[in-house]
Chains A and B, each alone.
Chain A
Amino acid sequence: MKVLVAIKRVVDANVKVRVKADNSDVELANVKMAINPFDEIAVEEAIRLKERGVASEVLVVSIGQDSCQEQLRTALALGADHALQVKTEISPEPLAVAKMLKAVVDKEGCQLIILGKQSIDGDNNQTGQMLAALGNMPQGTFASELTVEGSEVLVTREVDGGLQQIGLKLPAVVTTDLRLNEPRFASLPNIMKAKRKPLDSISPEELGVDIAPRLATLKVISPPERVAGVLVANVAELVEKLKSEAGVL
C-alpha cells in the first residue's frame, strides 16, 4: 500500500511572529522555518507503517517555492522514499492544496493519505477534510491512534469531551493530532542517504488545478495586548479583590 504524506514549510513553532508594519501579513523574512509539527507526526506515522510492513512506499509532497525542498529532504532523511514538490510562487489556499493533492493521489494510486490536522501558520484545519471530500474518501480527523486492518483503517479521534473510534474504508484520509506519536530525529547517515533519494517537481498546471485565491486578506494586525495587573499579598486579598473589584466571584 502506497502512503502519501503532505508537509508544509512553516515558521518554526518556537518563533514568536510579528506583524509587518504595513499590516499586510506577518514578517516572514529571516525567520527560522521548519516542517509543520503536525506534518512531522504524519511523516513519522507513515514511516512506522512502512516499518511494520503495512505500507510499501511513502511518498511525501509539499507545495510551494523551491525553499520547501529543504523540508522534503528532511522528510526523506526521516525515512520517506520519494518526494514531490508542487511548485507554486504563492501560498495556495486549502481548497487549491486539496485539489492538487487529489490529482497526485489519483496519479500515484495512494491508498492512505496522512496529513497534519492543521498548519501552525494559517491554523485553518481544512486540507485533509477537503481532500477526502474531493476524492469521495472517508476522513479520520484529529487522530491519536491509527491501525490498518484489511481494507479498513481504524482511527481513534480526539473529540471534544473524549475519544471516538471509527472505521474508514480505504482509500482514506487521516489527519494527525499531537498524541499520535513522537517523531524521531534524522540520523547523519540517513541525512546523507536522503540526498540521493528522488525529489521531483511538478506544476499546478500539469496537475490541472487552478490555484487562484478565493479570499483576499485585507489586513493583518496584532491582537490587543494584555497588561500585567496587580500583585496581591495573600489568598485573602485575592478573594476579596475577585469579589469586590472584579465581581467574578
Chain B
Amino acid sequence: MTESMTNPMSILVVADHDNNELKAATLTTLQAAVELKASTGGQIELLVAGSQCEQVAQQAAAVAAIDKVLLADSDAVAHQLAENVAPIVVALGQSNSYSHILAAATTTGKDLMPRVAALLDVAQISEIIEVVSADTFVRPVYAGNALATVQSSDSIKVLTVRGTAFAPVATEGGESPVNTDIAANDTGISRFISEEKVVSERPELTSARIIISGGRGMQSGDNFPLLERVADKVGAAVGASRAAVDSGFVSNDMQVGQTGKIVAPDLYIAVGISGAIQHLAGMKDSKIIVAINKDEEAPIFGVADYALVADLFDALPELEQQLS
C-alpha cells in the first residue's frame, strides 16, 4: 500500500477535566491540535479518562474541532493518577494510529506526559507555544528568557501545550461519536488519599480574562480583601507574587510566576509588585499590563502599558469606587 492510499495518522489529545467539566486548558490544547491537523490532515481524537465522567465525554462530543471521543470510564482512573492513566495512552500510542499525543501543560498533563513518552521510548516536548510544522515547535526555556525552536525525529510526537499561547476552540458545533470501549486498570503501585481544593467564587487564574495580583507591598494577607473587592467589580481572579506567598500573606496556589502559574489575561493589574524576573516570566504575555506601585523605580514599570505611581492603600479603594 502506498502512502497516499493510507489514511493519515490521528492526533490524540488527553482531556484535562475533573469528571464533571472539560477544562479550558483542553480547549486551548485542541487549538494546537487543529494547527497540527492543518499540516497532517489527521483526525483529532480526545481521550477522557476518569470515573463517572460521561458528561465530560458529552461536552467533548459537542466540540466541533473533535472528530472522535474516547472514553475510559473506570474507578481506576477516578483521580487520574499518572500510574494508571499512562498505560491507557501508551496502548493507544502503540496501536500505530497516532502521529501526535498532546495534553495541556497543567499539573495533570505535566505529570502524565513524560511517563507516556518514556514508555513509548520517545522524547517529550514541554509547554509548546507555537506549532511551526508537524515536527517542529517553539517552546520557552530559561524561564521564558529564550525561545527555542526544536525539531523531533521521533515517530510519535508527545507534547504538552502552554494554554496561554493558543486561543480556545469553540465548545459547540460538533457531534462526534463516543467510543466507550477503552479499558483502564489499577496498577496498584499508587493510591489517592485526599485532596484540598481551594474553593473560590472567582475565576481560575489560568483562565481569567482579568487578573489583579498583590505583592510584598500589600504588607499583610489581611490587606488582600482590598484587591478582592476590586476583583469582584470586574469579575477578575486574584493572584500574588512569590514574595507575597513566601511572606505568608496568601496561599501558594495564588502565585503567578515562573515557579507558579503562567498567565496571559487581557488585563493584568500588578499591585505592590516590584517585578522580579521570576514574576515577569509568569505574566509578561498579558495583553495589557497595569502596574500600581509607590516606588517609581520598580522594574515592573518597565513592562507596564499603564503605570500609576501611587500608594496602593489609596489607589485600591479609589479603583473599587471608580469601577462601581
Contacts and interface: CB of A to CB of B under 8 A. Distances in A.
Contact of B305 (A123, A138, A162, A246): A246
B277 interface: yes
- Among A17, A215, A249, which residue has the most Cβ atoms of chain B within 10 A? A215
Interface stretch (B4-12, B41-49, B141-149): B141-149
Given A165-B194, A167-B191, A236-B322, A126 B145 contact: no
Given A120-B143, A169-B190, A234 B310 contact: yes
Nearest to B323: A239
Contacts of A95: 117-118, 121-124
B304 A229 contact: yes
A218 interface: yes
B149 A217 contact: yes
Contacts of A230: 305-307
Contacts of B147: 220-223
B164 interface: no
Interface stretch (B30-38, B58-66, B67-75, B78-86): B78-86
Contact of A228 (B125, B153, B253, B301): B301
How many residues of A sit at the interface, in one of the four size bands? 35 or more
Interface in B154-212: 154, 188-198, 204, 206, 210
Given A133-B115, A217-B148, A228-B301, A160 B196 contact: no
B241 to A, nearest CB: 13
B290 interface: yes
A94 to B, nearest CB: 7
A166 B143 CA distance: 29
Contacts, number: 236
B306 A229 contact: yes
A208 interface: no
B266 A248 contact: yes
A13 B154 CA distance: 32
Given A160-B106, A229-B306, A139 B115 contact: yes
A238 B290 contact: yes
Contacts of A159: 107-108, 195
State the main secondary structure of chain B at its contact with A. Answer: mixed
B306 A249 contact: no
B306 A228 contact: no
A157 B127 CA distance: 20
B314 to A, nearest CB: 8
Contact of B126 (A126, A219, A238): A126
B153 A215 contact: yes
A222 to B, nearest CB: 6
Contacts of A128: 114
B142 A130 contact: no
B146 A154 contact: no
B29 to A, nearest CB: 14
A90 interface: no
B82 A94 contact: no
| A-B interface, 3 closest residue pairs, ranked by CB to CB distance from nearest | A129-B114, A229-B305, A130-B118
24 contacts: A26-B145, A93-B123, A94-B123, A95-B121, A98-B118, A121-B141, A123-B140, A126-B114, A127-B114, A130-B114, A132-B82, A138-B83, A161-B198, A165-B192, A167-B190, A178-B259, A179-B252, A215-B153, A221-B147, A222-B145, A226-B284, A231-B309, A232-B306, A236-B322
Given A220-B146, A242-B306, 14 more contacts: A11-B142, A17-B145, A123-B140, A130-B117, A134-B118, A134-B119, A142-B107, A159-B108, A160-B261, A218-B136, A229-B306, A242-B288, A248-B288, A249-B267
Interface of B: 79, 81-83, 86, 106-108, 110-119, 121-127, 136, 140-154, 188-198, 204, 206, 210, 234, 252-253, 258-259, 261, 266-267, 277, 284, 287-290, 301-310, 315, 318-319, 322-323
Interface of A: 11, 16-17, 19, 26, 93-95, 98, 120-134, 136-139, 141-142, 144, 154, 157-169, 172, 177-179, 214-223, 226, 228-232, 234-236, 238-239, 241-242, 246, 248-249
